[in-house]
Structure 1
Amino acid sequence: MSTRDVVIAGERLTLHPERAVFWHAQGTLLVSDVHFGKGAVFRRAGIAVPSGDTEDDLQRLDALFDELAPRRLVILGDLVHGAATERSAWVDDVRAWRQRHAAVEMVLVAGNHDRHFDVASLGISVQPDRLAAPPFVLSHHPHPHKEGYVLAGHVHPGTVVRDGWRKHRLPAFVFDRDVGMLPAFGTLTGLHEITALPGRQVFAATPAGVIPTR
């Protein structure tokens, strides 16, 4: 899978097809909207979805760590999907995964779903609003901020890529003048198709790599 480098606010960022961003200068891996435990929430509600989504996402994070060797992981909101107890299998899985990567600093910029669970109990620091990381402001909600260029999640942006007569709806990285949005990292997350705007850069995360679409 091929990555793609972009320069945002004067900093080199690598867009990874596994729906992550690597900030080279700070050794920081950025992901958003992981939604651990979403499958369990659906199954409790009687919605039939396959199990194993949390394990799959942890394996994808492991692969990113092996490839990029980040010193820090910042999650731009919605690390978890909903309420859980200590008996929830995914909680044990995430806690064990965190312990395996004890040397990596991990910070969650809390999103709207994170209020349902004590993420700090997983060994991950929680920033309640936004995180200043000049020249960036790391946030969950994609609203401009006077202190820097905002990198955020929340929207689950997607785009349509055409391959001849076929259309593929794919996760997307989106960069506007003051705000950039990451695609949702989690396996069971949906897509919100974004619209074309003047000056907007859109990159699709395809199985083969990251490609510009507009």
Structure 2
Amino acid sequence: MKEAAANGGKAIELAGEQVALLPQKALYWPRARMLVVADIHFGKAASFRALGVPVPRGTTSENLAGLDALLAAHDTGHILFLGDFLHARAAHASATLQAMLAWRERHPTLALTLVRGNHDRHAGDPSRLLRIDLVDEPHRIGPFAFCHHPDLPDEQVGDGYVLAGHVHPVYRLAGRRESLRLPCFAVGVRRAILPSFGAFTGGHPVEPGPGERFFLVADDDIHSISL
């Protein structure tokens, strides 16, 4: 894995390909003009409200605005979602769908692919009107095996370098009197786990495994840390 500077993120080499880890919690593959996004969880806040939990509105709009910002900053022909596009069946609510359809109409030529995750299986597939190609993991493109779960058996992923989500990784930076949890990319020899892109999705504390490096998302920058 070779690392270099990148405009708007941290450029690293994975499986012989140059990619950029972005502070917007996405990965950009320039040669394929592809953005890779994990765990956007559309409709999660609506699902909580359906259960009577008073949570803020506007997370769908925030997610869509985040995608628009990425598209404005990077030459993109394809967004690939690493699972958990929808959080639950409540994500099919009319208001959520109409917001996503309006976004789709603004980007009619953009290719969209969803690698189904565990939440997608419960929520059901997105509306056909969104024109999203639906695939199961592992989804191979070039040297990469695009997955939702990071720990599929070797016989399934073969020699592909795994790009996955599911974990929502965050790393805890601890000082003498306070600590801070930051989203992170966990990059290893055979796989990389992306942070959760979606608003209102939380995070799971992780520790590095053998040969794994962490890249922390802090404000508008990516910081590699030595552990």
**Paired position in structure 2 for 1:40:** 46
Q: Extract unaligned runs of 5+ from structure 1.
A: none
SS in 2 for 1:84: helix
Question: Does the 8 A contact of 1:156 with 1:190 survive in 2?
Answer: yes
- C-alpha offsets along residues 11-58 of structure 1, whole Å, 9 cap, x if unaligned? 111111110000011111000000000000000111111000010110
Question: Does 2:213 align with 1:201?
Answer: yes
Q: Extract unaligned runs of 5+ from structure 2.
A: 1-6
More off after superposition, 1-10 vs 99-108 = 1-10
Question: Does 2:165 align with 1:153?
Answer: yes
More off after superposition, 171-180 vs 161-170 = 161-170
Question: Does 2:87 align with 1:75?
Answer: no
**Paired position in structure 2 for 1:168:** 180
Identity of aligned residues (%): 36
- C-alpha offsets along residues 173-204 of structure 1, whole Å, 9 cap, x if unaligned? 01111111000000111111111223111001
State how 1:76-155 maps to structure 2 within 5 Å: 76-84=82-90, 87-115=93-121, 116-121=123-128, 122-143=130-151, 144=154, 145-155=157-167
State the TM-score, normalizing by the size of structure 2: 0.89
State the TM-score, normalizing by the size of structure 1: 0.94
SS in 2 for 1:119: coil
Question: Does the 8 A contact of 2:137 with 2:146 survive in 1?
Answer: no
SS in 2 for 1:188: coil
Q: What is the count of residue pairs matched by the alignment?
A: 214
Question: Does the 8 A contact of 1:27 with 1:70 survive in 2?
Answer: yes
Mapped partners of 1:75, 1:106: distance in 2: 8
**Paired position in structure 1 for 2:4:** none
